[in-house]
């Protein structure tokens, strides 16, 4: 176990099985999990350069996943909006990308703030970082909460 709630396997590359997740980042994810008091699913943690997602990116593209400081997370027992609001309480999580189509949020500990969203086809699209603008940016229609 890396932390009380996260195993090495959860943060390992799904392509090669190697885990090069930075412990400082894993501890941030554990802190988030502790605060929401609900299990978090790590859909993707560390990714090696040969991982298909990384290989599909243009050369020279920054990927926090390859540095072990990123995870795509979801929380089945919490709305995406509630998870988003919990993440905002952690300014050290500077990278934030939301995929409402697949119900996950990318978080990372990069050095400068970045916000983006994902379209239905998985492409990144510009987004203000404000929840109320997410539907317009992605074309996703949210149910009224």
According to DSSP, the residues that pair with 106 across neighbouring strands are 72, 97
The residue range of the domain holding 79 is 8-138
Whether 3 is covered by a domain: the verdict is no
Largest alpha-carbon pair distance within the chain?
A: 41
As given in the structure block, the two tokens for residue 133 are 């603008």
Model pLDDT for residues 47-66, shown as the tens digit of each residue: 999 999 999 988 888 899 99
Q: Give DSSP secondary structure letters for 79-142.
A: -HHHHHHHHTT-TT--EEEEETTTTEEEEE--SS-EEEEE-TTS-EE---S-GGGHHHHH---P
Number of domains observed in the structure of the chain: 1
Per-residue pLDDT, 145: 61
Closest C-alpha among 107, 11, 24, 20 to residue 68: 20
Say which CATH number the domain at 120 has: 3.30.1380
Per the prediction, the chain carries an average pLDDT of 95
Model pLDDT for residues 19-51, shown as the tens digit of each residue: 999 999 999 999 999 999 999 999 999 999 999
């Amino acid at each position: 176990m890396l932390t009380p709630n996260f195993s090495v396997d959860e943060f390992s590359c799904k392509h090669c099985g190697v885990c090069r997740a930075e412990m400082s980042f894993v501890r941030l994810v554990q802190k988030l999990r502790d605060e929401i008091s609900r299990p978090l699913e790590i859909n993707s943690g560390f990714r090696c350069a040969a991982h298909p997602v990384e290989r599909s990116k243009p050369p020279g593209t920054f990927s926090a996943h390859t540095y072990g400081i990123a995870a795509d997370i979801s929380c089945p027992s919490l709305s995406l909006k509630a998870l988003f609001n919990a993440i905002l309480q952690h300014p050290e999580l500077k990278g934030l990308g939301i995929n409402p189509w697949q119900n996950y949020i990318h978080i990372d500990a990069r050095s400068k703030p970045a916000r983006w969203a994902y379209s239905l086809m998985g492409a990144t699209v510009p987004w203000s970082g404000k929840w109320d603008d997410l539907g317009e940016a992605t074309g996703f229609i949210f149910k009224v909460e």
